Amino acid sequence: MALSVASGLEWHNRKPEEFIDQIVKNTRVLDGFTIIDGVKSKVAVPKYSATIAYHADLCSFDPTSSASIDEKEMSVATFKWDFINCKDVLESEYRSMMLRQGQLNEETMDADFSDWLFDYFRKLVQEKIVTVAGTELVTEITTGVDSADVLTDTLAAATDSDNIYAQLEQAYETFSTDLLAAVYGDADREFMPTIYLPTASMQAYQIARGDKYTTTPEGIESGVVGNYMGMEVRHFSSLPANTILITPPRNLVMLTDSYNDSLSIQTEYDNKTNSRLVWGQFKLGFDFKNPEHLVYLATA
């Protein structure tokens, strides 16, 4: 009796949180971002602000405290991929040994292969998301609607192990009052800034940190990246070379259309061609909320 595999088949018992959710959890640079779900094209993200005034006279009402709300429009783009593999290829290449052992029917011949594809595609999507994150954030920082209010400065030279500490000091001196208060512990620790460095700058930072000591500390020997002025230093591979990005992670926004969608990857079996068809798509976007909580340095 022939077996029919339905179009849009869910990956048997896979849990719905195993796609974008896994990507975020397995990508360290994303795990502190603010995530906004359910974005189909664009979304207006609220930006809150308030000041409070104190008075000495208990018997008078002085309405000088204020609160306001603004909005920033953020958008997503669609990312799609597809893949086809047929019985002939599986027989002659990937699954030859298993197929000779009797796995020649629609139900079993692609089961292990489908599992491998799901995990492998997730890793490739993970790499794509990190690349998109760096590219879109830099675009918003340099040319977006809030670019004029970002705390920026120019690095005089390309980053190396001899000048990375001087560059970090330059960035540190660019901080706003709110960021400094967070570093010193005077304000809400939720706003503690994190330093994001591209690959070559991270390498220079680690080398420079090792050179600062005559006796190598245990942390350097084990490859642990130390903090700078109390701030965590993180690798962000898709940032442009010779840049420094410093902001509280929650200030960075990741937008997606369906955070827990197991059907972001779908599959069906085509009886006519003995082919396994795999495809998927998701929507993604990156932005930031408060430009005054973001420091960006780059070479001219």
The per-residue pLDDT for range 3-52, each reduced to its tens digit, is: 444 555 444 455 545 677 778 877 888 888 999 988 999 999 988 888 88
Tell me which residue has tokens 């903090």: 227
Two tokens, residue 16: 């719905």
Q: What is the distance between the alpha carbons of residues 159 and 149, in angstroms, rounded to a whole number?
A: 25
Residue 109 has pLDDT above 90, yes or no: no
Domains and CATH numbers, the chain: 20-47+64-141+254-288 (3.30.2400), 146-253+291-299 (3.30.2320)
CA 263 to the chain's CA centroid: 21
Q: pLDDT at position 99, please?
A: 58
Q: pLDDT at position 75, please?
A: 93
Minimum mean pLDDT among 49-58, 83-92, 168-177, 227-236: which range?
83-92
Residue 261 has pLDDT above 50, yes or no: yes
Nearest to 211 by CA among 246, 150, 171, 165: 165
Cα-only R_g, the chain: 25
Q: What CA–CA distances, in Å, run from 175 to 113, 161, 280?
A: 51, 23, 42
Q: What is the distance between the alpha carbons of residues 28 and 130, in angstroms, rounded to a whole number?
A: 10
Nearest to 183 by CA among 174, 205, 282, 254: 174
Q: pLDDT at position 237, please?
A: 92
The per-residue pLDDT for range 185-195, each reduced to its tens digit, is: 765 666 789 99
Q: pLDDT at position 189, please?
A: 64
Full-model pTM? 0.78
3-state secondary structure of 279: strand
CA 147 to the chain's CA centroid: 20
Q: What is the distance between the alpha carbons of residues 251 and 288, in angstroms, rounded to a whole number?
A: 6
- Under the banding of pLDDT at 50, 70 and 90, the label for residue 148 is very high
**Secondary structure E strands in 52-164:** 66-75, 77-86, 151-155
The per-residue pLDDT for range 220-238, each reduced to its tens digit, is: 556 566 788 888 999 999 9
What's the whole-number average pLDDT of the chain?
81
Q: pLDDT at position 46, please?
A: 87
Query: What residues have CB less than 8 Å from 279, skipping those under 6 apart?
Result: 80, 81, 82, 83, 265, 266, 267
